[in-house]
Amino acid sequence: MAEAGADEARWRDAVAGVLKGASFEDRLTSLLPDGARLQPIYARKAGALPIPGRPPASPWTIIQRADHPDVAPANGQLLEDLEGGAGGVALVTTQSPFARGFGVAISTPGNLDGLLAGVLRNAIEIRLEAGPQTLEVARWLSEIDGGTLHYGYDPIGLLATTGNLPTGWPSTASVLANHRQGGTVLTADGRPLHEAGATPGLELAGMLSAALSYLRVLEATGLRLEEARHCVGFAIAADQDVFTTIAKLRALRLLWLEIEDACDLAASPIHIHAETAWRMLSRRDPATNMLRNGLAAAAAGLGGADSIAILPHTAANGLADAHARRVARNCQHVLISEANLHRIADPAAGSGGLEAMTDALREAGWAQFQAIERQGGIINVIQSGWLQEEIERLRQPVGTIIGANKYALAKEPAVSVLRPAPADTASPAALALSRRRDAVPFESAPESAPGGAA
């Protein structure tokens, strides 16, 4: 390895002797989903500096989802999560596109008060995932003093997940922006794209175009651009592909720096919330999801996420019980308190391979972003069907899923959940992205999983 760094040509000559005529590219390089080719070895990138993001040596915020349909049990979940060290909560209502058959039923201020009973609201971070009822719930939360509240309003995400763009959404965005409470107002969310199978570059492009759309709308409603940019945050899916996840978060920050520069804005770190990917979870042998979640959360932390939520390892099987939620919570505690992953600012800085992946994703994301903007922006490409077609054009084949399509259990043990998950059978509405977990085709029968039984 040292010889390779000093003299790549000599190293390649030595490798050619070992390959005995076989293709260097075929044997030793790999093609990334967006088309860039990853080399087997890289020298350290000279002069590389950390990408500004989460404050140095500061841990990310541990977020736990509240998604039990009944208010009293959901409140119990939140109190247990916060007593167990969570620094914030995501209030996922029944109308959230990420409720997945569950979500807290919040229809009155009394419901919300019951959900947050006993919670020190001004001491934690609260994220709303309320879909079309965001404004209504946000008004009920408006009495909170202190703390950080992210409204999570994402009308473009609602278009992507339901096929319907909320009417009057610019007005809703303006009202929320004028009542901002320390956090972000609008969220450019990459999760729908990731769940639909988009490549990392296309996922980044979609988030970038959505965020720019939100900036334009806020500016048009009278907000100064300097104020508007602090109203926009990002949510991103983190999966078990560690290096790609690290590079994706880093590329997002670099891409937004380009947007800020184009808008004549001084650089200011964006807020990125990461959630472990729904798409990577398997109903079969769900214990393997603990490992996937650990890898994904570690990658998100190393990539500079400001907050992270881990979906419990049994989430694909149903509504997670207290044990699964505790495992999800403590996974993050281990990464922060034992592994100390937060201590170094942007540890990937200067790493030849990770810098190359970051640059490749940044270039792919920018190219796709330009393609989207040439067609009038993210709303237009969803409504025209171009985005759906582009996802299919670039779709990668499903790889190995341990416990699902390789080394599957001969007999699946019973999985403890509070309520079983609804079947994955619903067809998406017209224009909506088709979102599905990768393991679904292998979950119908044990014999569908090749590679031997464990």
Q: What is the pLDDT of residue 47?
A: 87
CA distance 381 to 219: 22
Ramachandran class of 70: left when φ > 0, alpha when ψ lies in -120 to 50, beta otherwise: beta
Query: Is 321 within 8 Å of 415 (Cβ atoms)?
Result: no
Q: What is the pLDDT of residue 368?
A: 98
pLDDT in tens, 278-292: 999 999 999 999 999
Beta bridge partners of 272: 234
Report how far apart, in Å, the C-alpha atoms of 260 and of each of 174, 249, 272, 277, 402 are. Answer: 21, 17, 16, 28, 42
* 50 alpha carbon, distance to own chain's centre: 21
Structure tokens at 316: 């694909």
* 309, amino acid identity: A
pLDDT in tens, 349-392: 999 999 999 999 999 999 999 999 999 999 999 999 999 999 99
Q: What is the pLDDT of residue 12?
A: 81
Query: Is 156 within 8 Å of 166 (Cβ atoms)?
Result: no
DSSP string, 298-349: HHHHHHT-SEEEPPPTTTTTEEE-HHHHHHHHHHHHIIIIIS-TTSSSSTTT
* 101, amino acid identity: G
Residues in the chain, pLDDT under 50? 1-4, 447-450
DSSP string, 41-108: -----TT--PPP-SPTTPPPEEEEEE--SSHHHHHHHHHHHHHTT--EEEEEBTTSTT-TT--B---S
Q: What is the CA radius of gyration of the chain?
A: 22
Strands 125-129 and 88-92, sheet pairing: parallel
The pLDDT > 70 percentage for the chain reads 95
CA distance 328 to 46: 38
Structure tokens at 211: 């965020």
Q: Domains of the chain (ranges plus CATH)?
A: 2-31 (no CATH), 61-358 (3.20.20.240)
Strands 417-420 and 318-320, sheet pairing: antiparallel
CA distance 161 to 323: 30
Q: What is the DSSP letter of 13?
A: H
Long-range contacts at 368-375 (CB < 8 A, ≥ 24 apart): 368/201, 368/202, 368/204, 368/205, 369/204, 369/205, 369/208, 369/209, 369/255, 371/205, 372/205, 372/206, 372/209, 373/209, 373/212
